[in-house]
Chain A
Amino acid sequence: MILSVRDLKVSFRTHDGPVRAIDGVSFDLEESEILGVVGESGSGKTVSLLAVMGLITDPNATIEGSIRYKGRELVGLPTRELRRLRGNEIAMIFQDPMTALTPVYTIGWQIAEQIRAHRGLSKSKAMERVEQLLAEVNFPNPHEAMSRYPHQLSGGMRQRAVIAMALSCDPALLVADEPTTALDVTVQAGILDLVRKLRAKHKSAVVFITHDMGVVSELADRVMVMYAGRVVERGTRTELFSDPRHPYTRALLGSIPPLTGQKPRRLPAIPGSPPSLLRLPQGCPFGPRCPVRYEPCDAGKPGLGASAHAAACFRVAQA
């Protein structure tokens, strides 16, 4: 077991009152497994992974629950210890590659810096490793790319450089937050291919955050659907896409226009918009938009239960 998260709760104190961004999230991740986390903005997918990385430093934040990495508790771990893990054993890729790159150093220098910091290699040894890494992420001319500055590369190439940086220390866990959202589909296809290959080669476990059901279906072994800070459904990729159970998952899948076959005259849309975390409904957070809502939904929040393929819904529990 690489990662085991239990009943994670993250809340922030804000001007308008407390906001519970994550409300009891639990999941496990095995070696060389890809977990897809799907959700809309405000669903808590990013915050839950920032918590795992120990990157929530806001003094107004409270983190409760347990995050175990290879059996070791990360919640409450001193920054110095966390730093030894981050970038070395746990790596992260963000949506905008420029958040991870500095414009004033070359790509080669930046990746080498990380290897030197964590592995203590000499500069020339580190540079050799950088060249290998850039070749691995399909830079057509890795030696030349090392001396390039980020602004001289295209968005897709920058994201590849960041992936090379993330892989530089053979992380056991790679967290990717919408790494392909800003890219064109043609470039995205290449990056997804790369993630698949690297997982096979390095045996890294991957948590892949996205809002795109298509991407998840192409990449993930297991999927977790989030809504308003809670996990509403989880299961293997096949379970989730061939037998979606939660009304939100079903509605979300239904609202994607098809790429082949007959076009529906109207798309089955979900009414309303995702709730504000400041004004969450009393009962089930999806209740106000749910087509199958009934009395129990207004009274309490449905739990996820213990089974492998589970949906947090009273209707599903009843069926």
Chain B
Amino acid sequence: MTDTGRPILETRSLAKRFSIGTRFSAEGRRTVHAVDNVSLTVRRGETVGLVGESGCGKSTLARCLVRLYDITDGKLLFEGDDITAKSLSELRPLRRRLQMVFQDPSASLNPRRRVGDLVAEPLRIHGKVSAKEMAARVAELFELVGLLPDHMMRYPHEFSGGQRQRVGIARAIALNPDLVVLDEPVSALDVSVQAQIVNLLADLQEKLKLTYVFIAHDLSVVRQVSTRIAVMYLGSIVEEGPAEEVFATPAHPYSQALISAVPIVETTPAGARKRIILTGDVPSPLKPPSGCRFHPRCPIAADRCRSERPELKEYRPDRKVACHFPTLT
């Protein structure tokens, strides 16, 4: 594929709201603004990392991107084609090209089926292939993700966490997708195994020309795999830019606090690194604060932040921030 850099997936002011409670509950029906006004472009061949605290809407956004959730507002474009409202049958041919890998490999694999079968399942559903072709393809996939051919007859519980995640990845790439959304793919794994999976994902991306949307709460892992980063807070993107730049010079006060909070191995005296400790918790998406949604926790909040919501603006080619007083370098 030669069109590297062309947009493959785009969201335009995408929003996802959930309605909770009934008119009989104490607070009546209420709306959770899980994802709010997100415009994000994923280009072919890149890895977009989504970071933010739990509850910031990154997993909801991921599920919207592959249309596992219906989108409340805004648009979702796949290769320029509007797929926001496509029906399930219209989406089916697209599913092949848009895949997802989940956090807990043991929850996403049927415990009663052999892993060879599990990897063949997408081929059976989507491809019109003979049994012989299917066997050959499964063998090929096993080799690609670093599993042995004699693993095929085993059941998921016979594998370690890392191997199970390899099975999950094999399933996701079985149909030669263009885009894979990875929701916390290494978070459940042991530290010594994480690096193997991170490397495997990088190898597959190179070999199969994949585009990734990568979600993880471990910021150093996200930095390692991503070319671009989008920092989310309370359902919206507050900063976006090339991974290494955002980590080196975060412009939004929230990104600064988030990155400074990551514990890193250092040999200088403990606690010597400058750290911004945020007070309070992430506000409830049921009642998002007025103005800038970060203002109740922001160390540099001013009057303007309480009333006026900053837009995500490009302040330099390829760097965007949603803040009235960003740290620009």
Contacts and interface: CB of A to CB of B under 8 A. Distances in A.
B271 A257 contact: no
Q: How large is the interface on B (under 10, 10 to 19, 20 to 34, 35 or more residues)?
A: 35 or more
Contacts of B190: 40-41, 211, 273-274
A156 interface: yes
Contacts of A212: 191, 263
Contacts of B161: 273
B199 A188 contact: no
Contacts of B108: none
A264 B195 CA distance: 12
B91 interface: no
Given A40-B190, A156-B281, A273-B193, A189 B275 contact: yes
Interface string B255-291: 0011111111111001100010111111000000000
Most buried by A among B161, B193, B258, B279: B193
A255 B257 contact: no
Contact of B266 (A155, A156, A188, A217): A217
B247 interface: yes
Nearest to B260: A189
Contact of A267 (B195, B244, B265, B267): B195
Contact of A252 (B191, B266, B271): B191
Interface string B216-251: 010111011000000000000000000010011000
A269 B267 contact: no
Given A185-B217, A273-B163, A154 B281 contact: yes
Given A186-B257, A273-B192, A257 B220 contact: yes
Contacts of A196: 270-271
Nearest to A41: B190
B271 A260 contact: no
Given A40-B192, A218-B270, A251-B192, A257 B198 contact: yes
Contact of B195 (A211, A258, A269): A269
Contacts, number: 133
Given A257-B198, A263-B223, A186 B191 contact: no
A237 B163 CA distance: 33
A85 interface: no
Given A270-B192, A273-B193, A185 B262 contact: yes
A270 B198 CA distance: 12
A215 B217 CA distance: 15
Interface in A263-314: 263-271, 273-274, 289
Interface in A47-98: none
B202 A185 contact: no
B31 interface: no
B217 A266 contact: no
A17 interface: no
Contacts of A217: 263-267, 270
B53 A186 contact: yes
8 contacts: A184-B54, A193-B277, A242-B267, A253-B265, A257-B195, A267-B224, A269-B199, A273-B192
Interface of B: 53-54, 160-163, 190-196, 198-199, 202, 217, 219-221, 223-224, 244, 247-248, 257-267, 270-271, 275, 277-282
Closest 3 CB pairs of A and B: A214-B263, A257-B224, A269-B195
